[in-house]
Structure 1
Amino acid sequence: MVTRQGLSNRALALWLLGVTALVLYLGEFTGTSIRMVGLLAFLPALAAAFCTVPQTAFTACWTLVTVAAALFGYNPRELGDSLLMIGLTAAIGGLSVTGSWYRIRREEELLRLRSTATAMQQRILRPLPQRTADLLAEGVYEPVQEDKLVGGDIYDVAASAHGTRVLIGDVQGKGLAAIGVAFAVIGAFREAAHREPTLAGVAEALEAAVVRHNAYAAELGESERFATALVLGFDGTDTAEVVGCGHEAPYLLRPERAPLAVPLAEPGLPLGLGELADGPRPVGRFGFPPDATLVLCTDGLTEARSADGTFFPLAERLAAARGLQPGRLADHLLAQAQAYTAGRQQDDIAILTIRRP
C-alpha cells in the first residue's frame, strides 16, 4: 500500500519507464505520436497524489525532458506548437510539485493532531485491567481513527468507601469538542464516586457537569452536546445497582445459561437532557452472583454493520462465547466485530467485562 512517504525510488523509476515506453509505442503504432506525447504531461499530477515532493519534482523533470525530446524529434519544424506544449508540461509539473508539498504537509498536520488528541484521551482513560476489593474490570478500547481525530467513548472504575462505582459512556460526536465533554464527565465521576453515598447522587453529579459544560460551550458559540452513560455500583454482595442514562443495557453472562440483558429501571435520558425528565433517574438492582460476568459496551459495538447493513448480533455472539475465559472475552468480541464489518469500523468501540475477583 502506498503511504505518505511515497513509492520507493525503484518503483517510481520502473513506473515512469513503463508508462513512457507504453505511450511512445502506442503513438508509433497508431500514427498519432504528437498527440500521444501530450498525455505524458499529466504524469506529475499522478505522482503528486502518491509520491514525496522530491519524487514528484523528479517526475516533472523527467516528463519535461521526455516531452521536449519527443516533440523536437517528431516535428522539429513546428517550433511554436512545441514550445507551447513544453510550457504547458512545465506548468503542470510545477503545480504538481506544489500540490504534493501541500498534501504531505496536511497529512503531517493531521497526524500530529490525531496523535495529540489520542494522547489526551488516553490520559483520561485508566489502563485496563482495574482491580478493586469488589470486582475485576477488563476490556478494550478501539478508536475509529478518522479525520475527526477521536471519539467520545469513556469508562472509569472508582473504589470508594461506598463500594466500587463503574462508568461507561459515549459522548455525542467526535473530535476535540467531544473530548471536552468526556473530561467533564470523567472528572465529575471521579469526584462524585467518593463523595456521593448513593448511585443516584453520582448520576446527578454527572448530569450537572454536562449542563455546566454546555453552558460554557454556548457562551463560546459552540454546540451543546449530550452523553449516554451507565453508572453501576458494586458492594461485594450478590446484588449490584445501575442507573441508565440513555445507554445500552449491559449483558449478564453465566455458565450454561443464555446471555441476559440486565433490565434497567428505565432507560433514562442522556446526560445533559435531565431537565426533560419528570424526576430523578431511578436506581435499578440486579443479581450479580460470583460466577457471573457483566459485559458493558458502547454503541460502536452494537451498531456495527455488515456489508448488507445488518447490525452486529451481540447477544448471539455472547451466547457462542460462553465457554471463553472472561479475560479474553472483550478481545474476542472486538475481533468478531471487526470481522463482521470487514474492517470498516464506523465508530469507536469500548468493551468492559466485570466479574467478582
Structure 2
Amino acid sequence: MRLRRPSVARMAPLPGADAEETAAGDARIGNWALALWMLLLTVAVVLLDALTGEDLPLIPLLVVLPALASVFCTIRQTTAVAVWVTLVVSASRIASTGSFWDVLFLIGFTALASSLGVVACAARIRHATEVARLRSAAVALQRQILRPLPIVTRQVCAHGLYEPIEEDRFVGGDIYEVVQSPHGTRVIIGDVQGKGLPAIGVGFAALGAFREAAVREPELTSVADSVEDAVVRHNAFSAETGEADRFVTALVLGFDGGDRVQVVNCGHLPPRLLHDGAASVVTLHRTSVPLGLADLSGEARAAEWVGFPSGAALLVFTDGVTEARDATGVFYPFDDRLGRWVGREPDQVLEALQADLQSFSGGVRRDDVAVLVLSRPPDGENAAGSLGTPRRNSPSK
C-alpha cells in the first residue's frame, strides 16, 4: 500500500441547530404547509357541521388539532393552531342559535383544550432540548478524550475514522489510542459493552489506564492486565451506584518497527491485513476474554506475533462496521467491500468505507464506528517531525 501525508480523520459534527427546531425533529411542518392543512381541515369540518345540523355538531372536533400539533410542531406553530381553533369554534357557536351557557361552555372548553396542547408542546420541547444537550455534551467529551487523528509515531502512522452515535440512549463507548513508548508504539482499539453514559465512563477508565501502562510496562500482556484492573475497579465503583458491570472487547497491539506485530486479543474482532492487492483476515490463535472478565477465565492473557510486511497496513475496527445493516436487516459485507479498496491510500480507504457504510445503511446507525488503518510512516516523518500536532477538522458533513 502506497503512503502519503495523512489527512485529518473524519468525524461527525456536533449538533448546532436551534434548540426548538432540533427538538421538533425531522417531523416538523413548515408554516405554509401547516396553514394549508389547517385551512383544509377547518373547511371540511365546518361543511360537515353545516350538513349535519344542530343534531350532531362537529365543530368541537377541531379541539384535537392543537393536541396533534403539539406532537409535531414548534411552540409558535402550536400556539397559532390553538388560537385559530379557538377563534373558529367561538365564531361558529356565537352565530348558532344555542343557549348562552352552552355556547359559553363550548368556547371555554375549546380554549382550555387548546391551551393544554400548547403546554404539552412546551414540555416536549423542553425535555427534548435537555436530552439533546446531554447527548451533545457526551459526544463532545468523547472527542476531547480521544486524540485527533492522524497520529504518527516512529513505528506507525495511524489514520482513522471515528463516528460516535449521537442518539441519546445509543451513545456508545468505542475507544482508541496510539502511544509512543520506550518499548515501541502501543495501540488499543476497543468497544465497551452496552450504551449510554455508563459505557462512556468505562471506556474512559480503560483509556486512561492504557495511556499509563503503555509507557510503563515492558510487556504487552502487562499493558492489557493494567487495563483489565482499571475496568474491574470502575465496575466495583459503579456497582455502589446500582450500575451493572460492563466489559470491554479490545485489541492491544505493539509495533517495534520490524516485520511483525505483537497482538493481545481481548475478545475483539481480528484485524484485516491489506497487502499485495488483497485484504485478508489476520488469524489470531490466542483470543482471551474481554477486559473486565479475567476472573471468569483461568488462563492468563497471551500475546502472539503476526506478520506486518513492508508496504502493508493493518486495519482494526469495532463492530459498528460489521454489524451495520441495510433496510432489510442484512449485515454489511465488510470483507467483500474492503477487497475493492486495497491499493488505495489509507485515507482513501477510509473515505470509501465511510461513504459505502452510509449508502448501505441508508444513514441509519445504531452503534459507534471506529476504524484505524495502521501502516509504517513515510521516511523521515514521525510524531515530532514535519507533521507537527494534528489539528481537529472543522465540523462538516
Q: Does the alignment pair 1:108 with 2:135?
A: no
Map of 2:239 onto structure 1: 218
Rounded to whole Å, the distance in 1 between the matches of 2:202 and 2:300 is 21
Map of 1:92 onto structure 2: 113
Map of 1:14 onto structure 2: 36
2:217 to 188, 196, 201: 196
1:323, distance to aligned residue in structure 2 (A): 3.6
1:306 to 321, 326, 337: 326
1:8, distance to aligned residue in structure 2 (A): 4.8
2:79 to 41, 57, 60: 57
Rounded to whole Å, the distance in 1 between the matches of 2:237 and 2:78 is 47
1:161, distance to aligned residue in structure 2 (A): 0.8
Rounded to whole Å, the distance in 2 between the matches of 1:149 and 1:116 is 14
Deviates more, 1:141-150 or 1:195-204: 141-150
Q: Is the 8 A contact 2:139 2:166 kept in 1?
A: no
Residue identity in the other structure for 2:328? D
Rounded to whole Å, the distance in 2 between the matches of 1:186 and 1:77 is 74
Rounded to whole Å, the distance in 2 between the matches of 1:169 and 1:122 is 15
Map of 1:321 onto structure 2: 341
Secondary structure in 2 matching 1:156:
strand
Residue identity in the other structure for 1:54? R
Q: How does 1:202-351 map to 2 (within 5 A)?
A: 202-257=223-278, 259-351=279-371
Deviates more, 1:315-324 or 1:131-140: 315-324
Rounded to whole Å, the distance in 1 between the matches of 2:77 and 2:222 is 62
Rounded to whole Å, the distance in 1 between the matches of 2:29 and 2:45 is 21
Residue identity in the other structure for 2:104? L
Distance of aligned partners of 1:83 and 1:165 in 2 relative to their CA distance in 1, 3 Å threshold: same
Residue identity in the other structure for 1:328? Q
Rounded to whole Å, the distance in 2 between the matches of 1:307 and 1:11 is 29
Secondary structure in 1 matching 2:188:
strand
1:183 to 186, 195, 204: 204
Rounded to whole Å, the distance in 2 between the matches of 1:210 and 1:92 is 53
Distance of aligned partners of 1:3 and 1:180 in 2 relative to their CA distance in 1, 3 Å threshold: closer
Q: Is the 8 A contact 1:140 1:350 kept in 2?
A: yes
Distance of aligned partners of 1:189 and 1:141 in 2 relative to their CA distance in 1, 3 Å threshold: same
Q: Is the 8 A contact 2:136 2:166 kept in 1?
A: no
Residue identity in the other structure for 1:281? R
Residue identity in the other structure for 1:164? T
Distance of aligned partners of 1:60 and 1:233 in 2 relative to their CA distance in 1, 3 Å threshold: same
Rounded to whole Å, the distance in 1 between the matches of 2:270 and 2:57 is 66
How big is each residue's C-alpha offset from its partner over 1:51-102, in whole Å with a ceiling of 9 and x where there is no partner?
33233222212111101111232x3234444333323212211110110110
Deviates more, 1:337-346 or 1:130-139: 337-346
Rounded to whole Å, the distance in 1 between the matches of 2:175 and 2:351 is 17
Distance of aligned partners of 1:310 and 1:7 in 2 relative to their CA distance in 1, 3 Å threshold: closer
Secondary structure in 2 matching 1:174:
coil
Tell me the matched-pair count: 354
Q: Is the 8 A contact 1:171 1:182 kept in 2?
A: yes
Rounded to whole Å, the distance in 1 between the matches of 2:101 and 2:208 is 72
Map of 2:16 onto structure 1: none
1:317, distance to aligned residue in structure 2 (A): 0.8
Structure 1 stretches lacking a partner, 5+ long = none
Higher RCO (Cα < 8 Å, 6 or more apart): 2
Residue identity in the other structure for 1:71? R
Distance of aligned partners of 1:174 and 1:55 in 2 relative to their CA distance in 1, 3 Å threshold: same
1:36, distance to aligned residue in structure 2 (A): 2.9
Q: Is the 8 A contact 1:210 1:272 kept in 2?
A: yes
Q: Does the alignment pair 1:71 with 2:90?
A: no
Q: Is the 8 A contact 1:249 1:262 kept in 2?
A: yes
Secondary structure in 1 matching 2:47:
helix
Q: Is the 8 A contact 1:4 1:50 kept in 2?
A: no
Map of 2:23 onto structure 1: 4
Identity %: 49
Q: Is the 8 A contact 1:243 1:264 kept in 2?
A: no
Q: Which has the higher helix share?
A: 1
Q: Is the 8 A contact 1:247 1:270 kept in 2?
A: yes
Map of 1:147 onto structure 2: 168
Secondary structure in 2 matching 1:49:
helix
Rounded to whole Å, the distance in 2 between the matches of 1:287 and 1:180 is 34
1:118 to 139, 142, 160: 139
How big is each residue's C-alpha offset from its partner over 1:25-52, in whole Å with a ceiling of 9 and x where there is no partner?
3444666896331221111112212333
Report the aligned-residue RMSD.
Answer: 2.0
Residue identity in the other structure for 1:76? T
Deviates more, 1:317-326 or 1:25-34: 25-34
Distance of aligned partners of 1:113 and 1:149 in 2 relative to their CA distance in 1, 3 Å threshold: farther
